[in-house]
Amino acid sequence: MADKNNLPESEETRGTKIQIMGTKPDNPEGGRIFVWTKMAWFERLEGESGDVAFTPIAESEKELQELITRDDPKAELDDIVGEVRKQVVEEFIEQLPSYMDSAEDSVEEADDDEEQEYDEHDL
């Protein structure tokens, strides 16, 4: 793992590669910021009070690019580097357990639904 002060463009955190991309790399906070993990692409959303949330937005870079160009045909994705990247990685890592928990809950719910279907068929 890299030194916190010199984060690479893609790093592994808790076994998950994280990549930070944005629509305005020269002024990241003036554009849209996205985080890639093995789970999906997440968009960083900042509320008026400064609170930050990440919402799943796409399952592939192609799908993300389609969404971005639909909103702004001139927009292009580029790597976010420096202090903004470091800040976004730290914010995402702080919230990562809640995404992991919700993903596990989804799998468990799907398993429960399948068991229910089998039980109904056995009647």
Q: pLDDT for 32-66, tens place per residue?
A: 999 998 889 999 999 888 899 999 999 999 999 99
How many residues does the structure list for the chain? 123
Mean pLDDT of the chain: 76
CA pair distance 53, 46, nearest whole angstrom: 6
Counting Cα atoms < 13 Å in the Cβ hemisphere of 39 gives 24
Pair 17, 10: CB distance under 8 Å? yes
CA pair distance 98, 101, nearest whole angstrom: 5
Strands (E), the chain: 10-13, 16-22, 33-36, 41-46, 52-58, 78-79
Handedness of CA 8, 10, 11, 13 (dihedral sign): positive
Among 19-28, 51-60, 111-120, name the one with the lowest average pLDDT.
111-120
Q: In this predicted structure, what is the pLDDT of residue 96?
A: 74
What is the reported pTM?
0.69
**Given a cut of 80, is residue 9 above it in pLDDT?**
no
Average pLDDT (70-75) is: 91
Output 113 or 28, whichever has higher pLDDT: 28
Output 1 or 37, whichever has higher pLDDT: 37
CA pair distance 78, 95, nearest whole angstrom: 23
Q: In this predicted structure, what is the pLDDT of residue 101?
A: 56
